[in-house]
Each structure stands twice: as structure tokens, then as C-alpha cells.
Structure 1
């Protein structure tokens, strides 16, 4: 998708449903890491845009990079005495891992429906068996709806706490 934040919707819905199980910032960071590659190729006018990071192997690299970044930020933030807004220091490591994993793999799967240049199965193979299985409109609508579901769920949760 040409607009990375669309990918954040499914993660927001998952986090709203299971806030202690799925870390949304890790989900988002994995997506951003993957889309650095096409951003670079857009800026350098060098197609194809979806190369290594938009594969199963690339998703695995993005997952690892996200977990590593989160670990370094957590350690550095403690040393630098960064405020603990949102209790980011107390975040469950398993939730970070799951958020990063779901973020990375959902990104390449959603994009695989859309882009013929992708080699989804690399390094296991060269093909993209998901191309065209779901339309552009369906993928975009799904992501936007997941934004709505996630935001709605969080608003209901917030309202219940405010009224309690």
C-alpha cells in the first residue's frame, strides 16, 4: 500500500482486543521498517519498489530489527531516565514480540495481494501466490475498517473507565 499508516489498522484492532498480548507500537515499527525500502526506491526513481523487505525473509528481518530496536530503546530509556508515558517500560516482552511478528507478516501478506513485483515466498521460492486473490479495494477497506474497529473499541474502553 502506498500509505504505510493504512497497515496500522489491523494492529490497532488486535491491540484493542488484546492490549496485554499485542503491542501496537511494535506492530507499527515493523511496518515502518518494511516500508523504508519502497520509500527509498520512490525517492531514487528506481523501480521495482517492493523488493527484499516485502518477502517472507524480509518480514523476518523486520521482525528481528523491531525486537532489537525495542530492546535497545528500553535499555537506553531507563539509563537516560526518559519518562515512562504509557508504561512503556512495563510492557510485556511477549506482547512486543507478537506485535512485531504480526506487524511484519501482515504487512507483506496484505501487500502481496496488490503488487505483481513482489516475490512473497523468497527465500523459499520466487512466486507470489496471493497476487490478485483479493482486490485493491477490499484490502484498503479492510485496513480502514480495522482502524475504525480499533478506535471504537478503545473509545468504549476509555468511556467505561471514565464512568466507573
Structure 2
């Protein structure tokens, strides 16, 4: 299903570890960008559900788009929401692109494990060796638990920083 929140779990964990060197908002935007093509297929009934956008070639192109647009959208969102956990409203270009890259490529990996129509290495290889490597239930648990652990670590680090 497009826009699944399970993709955010690993992003929350990565944010907790990298702190200001990672933008969870750009990462989240990359998740949405990745699922625009499947959403169009679902709405129109035409096309391949996990098509070109869910290949590593497609993810590379979408990384550029998500990094460029996500930097500005995230900065605007932080200003509007007045959320500033990193002490800087400005997101550097490197942080934007690293966050978009991790977002797009992790999306392909996670979806490759659970969707039989995925061809992540297309046009070079047509098979999907990650399919079923773990159960969908286990994959969902990993995503959920990584988000919970990430939230605990993030707020734990923030609490310790505040006390020192």
C-alpha cells in the first residue's frame, strides 16, 4: 500500500543515531515520492504497481528529486511547525541528499522483501532475490521495533544533552 508508515521505522532509528546529520522529514518525503507511481497505478488501474520507481535506477533518479525538493519543503515545514530538534532550520545539501538516498533505497529494499512484482535491479536483472527472505510479519515487526527503539534513543539523547 502506498505511503505505508512502516517505512518510517528504520528512518526514526537512523535519525536517532545520526541526529543532525540526517533529516527525518526529507526521508519521509522520499517515502512519499517513491510511492507516487504505485498510487497512480492503483487509482488508474493501469500500469505495473511496483514499476520503474521501485528499481534502484528509478530510486537513484527519485533521490535527486526528493533531495532537491525535500530540502526546501522540510525547511518550510520546520518553520511552520516551529519544530527545531537540530538547532538549525537550514538543512544542508549533504544531509538532504543522504536522507533522500537512504529513504529511496531503503524503500526499494523493504518492498523487495514483501512484493512479488518487484524487480529492483531492472533493467539489468529481472529476478528479485530478496523476496521472502523473511516473512512479511517479521519485516513489519522489524520496521515497527526499529521505530520504537529509535524514538527511545532519540529522546534519550535529547534528554542527556539537555541535562549537560
Q: How big is the alpha-carbon RMSD for the aligned residues of Structure 1 and Structure 2? A: 2.4
Structure 1 SS opposite 2:21 = coil
1:142 aligns to what? 142
TM-score by length of 2: 0.84
Give the paired residue count: 159
8 Å CA contact retained: 2:26, 2:74: no
2:46 aligns to what? 46
8 Å CA contact retained: 2:21, 2:95: yes
Residue 163 of structure 1 deviates from its aligned partner by 4.3
Give the alignment of 1:4-153 within 5 angstroms.
Answer: 4-46=4-46, 48-70=48-70, 73=73, 85-86=83-84, 89-153=89-153
Cα deviation 1:100-158 (Å, max 9, x = unaligned): 11110000011001111111101322221111112101111111011101211122133
Shift in alpha-carbon separation, 1:154–1:121, aligned structure 2, 3 A:
same
Shift in alpha-carbon separation, 1:148–1:85, aligned structure 2, 3 A:
closer
8 Å CA contact retained: 1:26, 1:96: yes
Cα deviation 1:42-96 (Å, max 9, x = unaligned): 1223364111111111111210111221355589x6xxxx667525642232121
Structure 2 SS opposite 1:19 = helix
Consecutive aligned runs of 4 or more in structure 1 exceeding 4 Å deviation: 71-75, 82-85, 161-164
Structure 1: give runs of 5+ residues left out of the alignment.
none
8 Å CA contact retained: 1:20, 1:92: no
Structure 2 SS opposite 1:18 = helix
8 Å CA contact retained: 1:7, 1:31: yes
- Please give the alpha-carbon distance, in whole angstroms, between the structure 1 residues aligned to 2:74 and 2:117: 37
8 Å CA contact retained: 1:29, 1:66: yes
